[in-house]
Amino acid sequence: MPLLRLTLRPSRDPATRRAIADAAYDVMLRTLKPPDDDRFQLIAAPDDTAFIAHPTYLGMDRRDPVMVELTLRRGRTDDQKRAFYAGLAEAFEPLGVRSDDLIVVLTENEAIDWSFGQGRASYAPGA
C-alpha cells in the first residue's frame, strides 16, 4: 500500500538511484511493516532548475538533497515513523547520502484512497 517517491539530482548514477530505492524499501519493511510484496516506487531525477531545496533550512548543511515522499495508509505510530526516518539516514549513508541531505515527508490516507487496478477501491469495504 505505500507509494514511495524518491527525488534526487540527476548526477547520481542509475545504479546508485536503484540502491537508494532498494535501501528505502528495506527500511520501510523493517519499520513500517507493509506486506512483503507491496513495492511501488517512483524515482525522479529532475534537472537542477526543477530541484529546489533550501541549503540551510532548520540548521542543515544541504549539498546534494534526496527527497523521500511516502504515501501510506493511516495507522503507524510516531515511534515507527521516527524509526523510518533514522533507518533511512543510516541506510543511505553508505550510498553517499549525508543525513543533512535527507528530506522525508509522510502523507497518510484511508483505505478508500487506493485503487490498484480495475477501477476499484482495492482496500475499502465492498471493493
Q: Which three cell numbers stand for residue 103?
A: 528530506
Report the C-alpha gap between 120 and 44 in whole angstroms.
27
Distance CA 97, CA 71 (A): 22
Q: Which amino acid is at 60?
A: M
For the question of residue 14 being annotated catalytic, the response is no
Rg (CA), the chain: 15
Q: Closest by alpha carbon to 104, among 122, 92, 112, 113?
A: 92
The angle, 0 to 180 degrees and rounded to 10, between the axes of the packed helices 78-92 and 14-32 is: 150
Kindly name the residue from 2, 46, 65, 94 that is annotated as catalytic. Answer: 2
Alpha-carbon gap, residue 126 to 10, rounded angstroms: 43
Positions marked catalytic: 2
